[in-house]
Structure 1
Amino acid sequence: MIRKGFVMKVYEDQHEEYEKRHDEIWPDLVEELHKHGARNYSIFLDKETSQLFGYVEIEDEELWKKMSSTEINQKWWSYMAPVMETNRDDSPVAKDLKPVFHMA
């Protein structure tokens, strides 16, 4: 199992909408995430900075990378683009974080 942490940013006036969209996450997307080895996926919001911290456990880096090209993921990115910082392809602007401590 590989632990991944990353940060993204939601627009300041879109905190509630971001949370609402995740409360109503599409079952097809969750199924695809599982197929691509994702488990124990969480996203946290710092309301003061609008920064999001994501954490996910994956089985395999190569399998995880393939998730981004799935049709359902591309659709989700387009759906989320109005509420958060994104790249030209609608993917979230995300920065991977280096793990420095873990206690089991």
Structure 2
Amino acid sequence: MTIHATRAFRMKLKPGNEDEYRSRHDEIWPELAALLRGAGIHDYSIFLDEATLDLFAVMKLHPGHDLGPLPEHPVMRRWWDFMADLMEVEPGNRPKEWPLTQVFHLA
């Protein structure tokens, strides 16, 4: 059995940007999707808690892959710049992330 690494984290949307955030992801750039897949990411979902505007992201990584180089990739940087007006970000426009700890899993 192959074990896939799962990573989950929380981000924060700015008020009034729910529809635009969804719209931009509905039209995700093909080069960004290819970059994420090339980094070993698959089965990636982002959920919105409409009451708090918290975004909950869950992604799976194929074995042997590492997200380390992604933050420096030009396509990733452009996407962060494109999304920065909609969400809370760090300097350099990387989305603020709070890691989530898995407490239960039913396989």
Contact persistence 2:39–2:67 (CA under 8 A): yes
Unaligned runs of 5+ in 2: none
Secondary structure of the structure 1 residue equivalent to 2:67: helix
* 1:59 Cα offset (Å): 2.6
Give the structure-1-normalised TM-score: 0.95
Determine what percentage of the aligned residue pairs are the same residue: 35
Which portions of structure 1, spanning 4 or more consecutive aligned residues, are displaced by more than 4 angstroms?
none
Alignment partner of 1:43 is 2:46: yes
Distance 1:58 1:67 in 2: 13
Which secondary structure state, in structure 1, belongs to the residue aligned with residue 85 of structure 2? Answer: helix
> 1:14-53 residue pairs with structure 2 within 5 A?
14-53=17-56
Pick the aligned partner of 2:12 from 2, 9, 28. Answer: 9
Higher helix share: 1
Structure 1 unaligned residues grouped into runs of 5+: none
- How has the CA–CA distance of structure 1 residues 61 and 93 changed in structure 2, closer, same or farther, with 3 Å as cutoff? farther
- Change in CA separation of 1:10 and 1:61 when aligned onto 2, cut-off 3 Å: farther
Q: Find the residue that maps to 2:40 and give its secondary structure.
A: coil
User: Which is worse superposed, 51-60 or 81-90?
Assistant: 51-60
Question: May I ask how many residue pairs the two structures share in their alignment?
Answer: 104
Query: Hey, what does 1:65 align to over in structure 2?
Result: 68
Name the Cα RMSD after superposition. 1.3
